């Protein structure tokens, strides 16, 4: 991969000073990001959208490429970890974890990722990029501090 092949932002890149986005606002951001990715040759992982779906707060990370949504992952709460899925990008196996999920891919038995991304808001204490195969790429994007200040 060369320098322009991936764009990654930290967790909570899309939220508001008043808390989670509405579902409508989140959908608008996703459509804008999807459209913007159409004109880029980069894999775009725009951090996460913190949003509310009815009474449920969501923290969702997407992966876009050339106007297509390749991947969507909702971070689970501390008591409700969901399996983290991987996806293929240009023949590479890619895994994305969000903040407190750091290390979950390895716990699930993943150890052959070509590219492992941890997008976080404040996770510098635990940067577990340990699901990579030999020669794989790992990336930690930590936005330490409030996203809206």
Joined together, the tokens standing for residue 21 give: 């986005």
pLDDT at 147 over 60: no
* Three-class SS state of 99: helix
Q: So what's the pLDDT on residue 38?
A: 93
Distance of CA 48 to the CA centre of its chain: 6
More confident residue, 87 or 53: 87
CA proximity to 36, closest of 4, 65, 74, 10: 65
* pLDDT at 141 (0 to 100): 85
Asked whether 67 and 44 are in contact (CB, 8 A), the reply is no
Distance, in Å, from the CA atom of 58 to the CA atom of 21, rounded to the nearest integer, reads 9
Tell me the pLDDT tens digit for each residue of 12-44: 899 988 889 999 999 999 999 999 999 889 999
**pLDDT surpasses 80 at 135:** yes
Q: Provide the b/e sequence for 52-88 (b: ≥16 CB within 10 Å).
A: eeeeeebbbbbbbbeeeebbebebbeeeeeeebebee
């Amino acid at each position: 991969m060369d320098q322009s092949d991936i764009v990654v932002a930290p967790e909570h890149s899309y939220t508001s000073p008043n808390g989670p986005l509405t579902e409508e606002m989140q959908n608008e951001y996703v459509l804008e990001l999807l459209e913007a990715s159409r004109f880029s040759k980069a894999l775009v992982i725009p951090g996460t959208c913190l949003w509310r779906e009815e009474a449920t707060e969501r923290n969702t990370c997407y992966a876009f490429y050339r106007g297509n949504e390749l991947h969507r992952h909702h971070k689970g709460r501390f008591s409700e970890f969901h399996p983290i899925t991987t996806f293929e990008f240009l023949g590479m196996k890619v895994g994305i974890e969000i903040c407190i999920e750091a290390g979950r891919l390895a716990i699930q038995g993943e150890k052959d990722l070509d590219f492992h991304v941890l997008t976080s808001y404040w996770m510098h204490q635990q940067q577990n990029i340990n699901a990579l195969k030999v020669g794989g790429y790992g990336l930690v994007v930590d936005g330490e501090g409030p996203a809206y200040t």
